Structure formats: structure tokens, C-alpha cells
Structure 1
């Protein structure tokens, strides 16, 4: 216990409530089992409640110390090495490289007060900036492992912040300037992937986790706020294992938004959805494969990278983006956006002008707007199977969490279809989100789960379901 306390004393203090609760549960269960077990054990039969408490406390401390060291190794990898290839090998706990890196970390472990708080503060800022509009994302992210959850949140935060910089600047000129700044930053972030951390001489506040080939002083002047700069710093820390091509395709999609050209056909809508969210799905796959020890999927390692899996991941993001577009037809119109293809409109010039320029979707009518949304949802249904196959290509340890996240967002479609009108923003009820997460995490997904859920809903919704069942059931024949 003294050795564990020496390694992670302050961390254990912050987790004291969990440690005490765990040790008491182990003590109660151990005492009861040793007293009631028919098998006599010379050691266990002599253990008192205090012995079981000490044992439970020791195991809980050991697990917490491992969590602490793993978090330090992921957040401050420069404490072990600055070589990105070696950092890639450190991601898999089943390899000797991981445990050798853990030993190196213990040997070079600094005091917690000597660690720069920049990475943690930037992570907190990124999560805070997601805001209430990302409620579905936060629900989905809670299902992922912690190290995977953090990096996915950082990338999603950068995606949201960059999208707002391009779309929500006061003038079109500023929007284009922001897009140019984002592209310049991405070129610098991806320009040096051999060393992820270097000497801290030129970094902000001597933060050794930041790549020092980026001119952070310049971006502190160009970006609108310290919060935005914080998200950019977080992205730079993980850029070494992301795919540059996918990120630059995202900027192409933002440029399409700036040009303001209408989407004319379903094919153009599918291409736009593939650019804006299909590439994001590919980036998420890079994160998942990297953090689960499957190698670097950023394009440099051709052995690890599987383009078939990435293509299906793009279909997953594409499918979710179509649902997002269908849900936000009215919300997009109110801010001067329209992603409904002209192919769907009976009078394209008039209806497009009402949605895009006049920003008066109510003039078209809820019925027609919902018709647009339903056609877009039907389009997403056509690629749902490919999206599901994409989930099956991911590591088994994350499949259930990803499938839960996917189905939580997919639940928007039936909620919108079953709504009597067309709400401004369709939301899936929280209990339904929790039910989807529960059944996916515990393996109840696919056609069987949907059939059971549908049958249960019909049975519970029928006010006289039980009486009708009794009437239809055959009665046993009486013996004469």
C-alpha cells in the first residue's frame, strides 16, 4: 500500500470515495461467503472483516494506480518517448511495449505539480464548448472507453468549432478568412508527424505536449478567442494519427457551404453527406483503431490501414448526416441554409428561395417540408445496411458501444416519421436513448431485438391486451 501511495497518492485521494465503497463491498461479501461456504479454507476461514477490508482496499488501490499511470501515459507520452511509432505500439496493453513503457513512466514519474495542466484544461474546454446542442453526442460518448472517449470528443469539438467559424462569422469575407486559417493550421499540424512532442522552448507556457513546429503565437492572434485556440491545441496533440486527406475533404465541404450553390439532385446530396460526415466517420475509425492498438490508420502505415473498413465507416457517417439534414430542414432554413435537393421540389425556384433567402419555411407548409424530410430519410435507409457492416468491421471491444451510438442517432428517423407535424428539432426521449444503449451494450440488437421491442410495445399499448389474450387462448377441456 505504501508503494502504491508513493506512485499515485494524490490521485487516490481524489478517488477515496470509490476506494472505500469498493473495499467495504468486498469485505461484506468476503465475510459472508467465508462463513457460509461449505468448503473449509485454512486461510479464508481465519480472515476477519478487517482482513477482507484491507484486501479489497489493496486491490482497488492497485487498479486505480494502473488507471492513473495509463492516463498519464496517454496524456503525457513525452514522459516515455517522442517517437510516434513507439507511441503507436504503446496503445495495446497486451504487448510488451506497453508494459515496458509503463516501467519507463514509473522510473521517470514526476510530481503531479510539475506536470503542465494544459492538456487537461484544454480537454475541459473542449467538452464545455460542446454545449447542450451535443446532447446526443455526449450520450453516445459515455458508452466508449475513457481514453477513446476523450480523443473522440476532442475531434468532434474541433469539427464543431471549425464548422461554426466557417458558417457563423459576421460576414462572408470573414467566413472565407476563417476557412483559410483552418486550412493553414491543418497543413502545419500534419506537416511533421515524425515527432509529436519536442523541446518545450517555443511552446505556450512550456507545454511539452504541443508540437512546436506550429506558430501558436500567430494563431493566438488569428483565432477569435482563447477557447477556440484551446480546441485547436487539443487537435494538434492527436493530429499525428489522423488522416490528412479526410480532414482536407472536410474543408472542401465547408467551402461548398460558403459557395452557397443549391444541391440539385440526390447524388449531390449523397456526395455532400459523404464529405461532411463520411470523412468524420473515417476520422473516428482512425481514432478507434489507434487507441485499441490496431496501428496507425492515418495512411502512413499501409499494412494496418484497411480501406474496406474505412469505406463502410464513411457510409456510417453519411447515413447519420442524412438523418441530421432531414431533421433540421426548418432549423437550417431559419439561418439561411438549405440542403434539400431541387429534385424534390415541385417549384424549385420559389421553394428554394423561401427556404434559403426569405427564411420562411412556414410559407411552404409542414406537410411539404415533412415530405422532403421523409424522402431524405428513405435515402439514408438505402445505405443503412452498409453502415451496419461498417460497425461489424471494428474491434469487438467497441462494436456494441458504436452500435448503441449509431442506433441512438438513427432513432431520430422513426421519431420524426411518427410525429403528427414537423417539429423544429426532433429529439429522442431520454428513456428511449437509455433503453437503446442498454440493449446494445448487453448484446440485444438486430432483427430479434427489434421484434421483441415491437411486440412488447404493442402488448403494453393495448389497454385490454391481457384480456384479449385470455379470450383467444384455448380453454382446457373438462373431463366428464
Structure 2
């Protein structure tokens, strides 16, 4: 496959700038090679998500009536890219580049696309275990891929488990933040068992008289996000200093989203929770100090209570 790497990298840089200010800020902390590869992976993930959900860089989501066909197209284009075939789409060519440069196991690509398939099938979690499986497919697998982009050997499963933890933490925070936004397009990622515990119908989660119960469930999500974030921080000991700096900054920036949802209580969905520029800069500075001191983190085994991708 003949590619113009510089053009593909530039398209990927623009994608992350438009799609996620938080991840774009964190990516500047990587060394140049890792930074470009992170952009390449992000561009593919963002493009797949946009194609399946009818979005533009994560914004203006609409209900689509051909979701399964869209997932099939994403899978076909991704497999073509991994096989070295030209796709005509810079984001899928970005996947081809980053996979070839990092020995990225193709199973993680499949795992992420399987998450898109769950959404296309109008799947909803019945149990907490279902919720975690979904979070793995749409975010934990991305955490594993990002770790490999940062130089973690694909065989280092212990470190990849910690990277998966960070993806899980991000997705749990997303779900807590986006309950109202998801409800507007007919989705609900709160486990049906949880909803049953507090007598909240899945199609009426945003009803005003359910708000107190919803706060309790959102805090359950954010508590679990915090546990996985803490586990992921220990995994940064296996990374270079600059990669650890970027990961710890992203963990703090995104962790603030979960913490803000919990803090706002019944007002959590009045307006979308975001992390401001000043807070991002503060986390970048704090993460540099944390990265410098990460060797002092205890060599604790991963908490066996936490959900694992091996289930």
C-alpha cells in the first residue's frame, strides 16, 4: 500500500482537535512518534463512531435507520485497511499505518467494532456484568490499543489490563454524563437490574420524579469509574515518562467529568459536563509531578474485585 503518511497524520491531527479537546490536550504530552500514532488511532476510532452513529466528530448525533449496514461497512473497511488495501478514507488508512508500525493485534479492532454492533442491534445491558462487557468493547479495547501505541508489548497482558481499566473508567464517566443525551435518542446504558432496584423504567429515566434515583445510579457509575482510574494509574509505571504524563493528565481531566457528575447531583444533566481550559492546564501540570513520582506507587496486584476483560 502506498500512502502519504504526512497527509494522513495531518488529517488525524485535525480530527482529534475537532473531536476531543481533552484528548487533544493530553496527546501533546507524548513524544513526537507516539503523539502521531495516538492521533492515527484516534482518527480511526472517531471516524468509525461517527459513521455508525450519524455524528460529526462526536457532535450532533441523530438516530440512523441503517445502523447494521453502517457497522458492516466499518468492519469491511477496517479489515481492508489491516490487509494493506487502500480505502479512500484517511481515517481507515490511519488504522493501517498505526497497526503496521506497532504490531497492533487485530483482535482489538474486532472487539471495538463488536461494540458498535451492540449499539446497532439496540442492545441494552441487563446486568452490571453486561455493562462492563459493553464498556470493554467500546472503550477498554481502545485502552489496550493505546497502550500498544505507547510501546507496551502486545504480550504484556498485565499492563494491558491496567490500560483497559482506564478505558473502562472513561466510558463509565461518559455514561453517567450522557444519560440525558442518550435518552433523547432512545438509548439507556444503565443496567436493567439497577433500574429495577429503584423502580425506574428504562424509557423514562429523565422523568423529574425519578431524578433522585437517577443521581444514585449515576454515582454508582462514577464510583466504579474512580476505582478503575486508580487501578490504571498503577499501570503507568510500565510507560515512559512522557507517556505516563499524558495518561495521567487524561485520567485526571476525564476523571473530573465523573467527579463533576457526582458533585452536581440532580443538576448533573442540566448542561453537559465538561472540563475547562484552566482545569486541563492544572491537570497537565499535576500529571507531570505524578509521572515523576510514579515509581513510588505500590506494586499492588490488580484488585480482584474489579471487572476483568478475561471473563
TM bucket, shorter chain:
0.7 to 0.9
Question: If the length of structure 1 is used for normalisation, what is the TM-score?
Answer: 0.54
SS of 1:264's equivalent? coil
Q: Is the 8 A contact 1:242 1:286 kept in 2?
A: yes
Q: Does the Cα contact within 8 Å between 1:122 and 1:233 map onto a contact in 2? A: yes
Structure-2 change in CA distance of 1:139 and 1:392 (3 Å): same
Note the aligned Cα RMSD (angstroms): 2.7
2:221 to 346, 363, 376: 376
Match of 2:108 in 1: 246
Residues 185 and 322 of structure 1, relative CA distance in 2, 3 Å threshold: same
Give yes or no for the alignment of 1:354 onto 2:204.
yes
Query: 1:435 matched to which residue of 2?
Result: 282
What does 1:78-477 align with in structure 2 at a 5 Å threshold?
118-130=4-16, 132-168=18-54, 174-191=66-83, 211=84, 214=85, 216=86, 219-220=87-88, 229-240=89-100, 241-289=103-151, 297-298=153-154, 305-346=155-196, 351-355=201-205, 361-363=206-208, 365-419=210-264, 421-423=267-269, 424-443=271-290
> How far has the Cα of 1:362 moved from its partner?
4.4
Following superposition, the deviation at residue 366 of structure 1 comes to 3.7
Distance of 2:78 and 2:291 partners within structure 1: 41
SS at match of 1:419: helix
Give the SS at the match of 2:91: helix
Higher RCO, 1 or 2 (CA under 8 Å, sep at least 6)?
2
CA contact (8 A) 1:342 1:348 kept: no
**8 Å CA contact retained: 2:81, 2:92:** no
Are the equivalent residues in 1 in contact too, given 2:173–2:255 (CA < 8 A)? yes
Equivalent residue, structure 1, for 2:309: none
State the structure with more CA Rg. 1
Distance 1:168 1:349, change over 3 A: farther
**CA offsets, 1:136-155, max 9 Å, x none?**
11111122122211111111
CA spacing shift, 1:178–1:282, aligned 2, 3 Å: same
C-alpha deviations, 1:106-160, integer Å up to 9, x for none? xxxxxxxxxx8x3323323233234544111111112212221111111112111
Unaligned runs of 5+ in 1: 1-77, 79-115, 192-210, 221-228, 299-304, 356-360, 448-480
Paired position in structure 2 for 1:224: none
Contact 2:115/2:134 (<8 A) preserved: yes
The whole-number CA distance in structure 2 between the counterparts of 1:146 and 1:157 is 17
Output the CA distance in 2 between the equivalents of 1:125 and 1:313: 26
TM-score by length of 2: 0.81
1:249 is paired with a residue whose SS is: helix
CA separation of 1:173 and 1:349: change in aligned 2, threshold 3 A: farther
- Distance in 2 (alpha carbons) for counterparts of 1:138 and 1:400: 14
Q: How many residues were matched structurally? A: 283
Distance of aligned partners of 1:156 and 1:326 in 2 relative to their CA distance in 1, 3 Å threshold: same
Instruction: State whether residues 316 and 390 of structure 1, in contact with CA within 8 Å, keep that contact through their aligned partners in structure 2.
Output: no
Question: What's the offset of the Cα at 1:416?
Answer: 2.0
